[in-house]
Chain A
Amino acid sequence: MLAEIGLVSLALAFIAALYAIPASVMGARVERTAWVVSGRNAALLTFPLLLIAALALMAALVGEHYEIAYVWQTTNPSTPLFYRITALWGSQQGSLLFWCVIMGAFAAAALAFNWRAYQRLMPYVIAYTMATLAFFIGLTLLLENPFARYWVSLEGTLITGVIQPAGALPIAADQWVQPDGTLVFAVNAPNADAVPLMTRLGQTANGLNPLLRHFGMIIHPPMLYLGFTGMVIPFAFAMAALASGDLSTNWIKATRRWNLTAWLFLSLGLILGGRWAYDVLGWGGYWGWDPVENAAFLPWLIGTAFIHSVMIQEKRGMLKVWNMFLVIFTFSAVIFGTFATRSGLVDSVHSFAQSAIGVPMFAFWAIMTLISVGLILYRWQRGDLKDETHRTGILSRETLFVLNNVVFVALTLAIFWGSFGAPILSELFMGTDITLGVEYFNAVTPPLFLILYLLMGIAPLSAWGAMSVGRLGRALVVPAALTVACLVVMVIFGTRLPAALVGYGAVLLAGFVAIYETARGAWARRRATGEALLAASLGIFARNRRRYGGFIVHLGISVIGIGVIGSTLYQQETQRTLNVGGSLTLGDYTVRYDGLDAGQIAEDGRVMDIANLTVLRDGAEVAQIRPRHDLFPGDGAMNSMNIAGAHSTLETDVYVLLVGWDTDAAPGRESATFKVYVNPLINLVWWGGLVLILGTLISVAPQDSLPSRVRAQVTGTKRAGAAA
Chain B
Amino acid sequence: MTDMVGGNMFEMRKEFFRDERDDNLNEVGKPTRRQDIPGHVTGRSPFFDDHLFDGLLHMRCVRSPHHHARLRRIDTAEAEKMPGVVRILQGRDVPRNLNTLLSLLDFGIDDEPLLSDTKVAYKGEPVAAVIAQTEAQARAAVQKVRVEWDPLPHVLDVEEAIKPGAPVVLDIYPNNKFVYHGKYDHQKLRFGDVEAAFRGADHIVEGRYQMSPIEQAPIETCGAIAAPEQNDRYVCYTSTQGLFFSLGTASKVLTMPSSRLHFIGGTVGGGFGGKVDSIHEPLAILGAMLTGRAVKYAWDREEEMQVGAPRGAERWYLKDGVMRDGRIVARKFTGYFDSGAYTRLSSYAIIKGVGHLPGPYTIPNVYADVYCVYTNRTPATAMRGFGITAVDFAIETHMDKVADVVGMNPIDLRILNAYRDGDMKAHRRIAKNCALIECAQVVAQKAGVTLSPALAAAASTRDGGGARAALPAFTATDEGGRVSGFKSTNYAKKGGRQPDMPGVPAYQSPRTAPPTPNPSPQGGGEPTPPPATPVRTGAMRFSSLSGFRRR
**Bound together:** no
- Listed in ascending order, the chain B residues whose CB lies under 8 Å from chain A are none
Interface residues of A (CB under 8 A from B): none
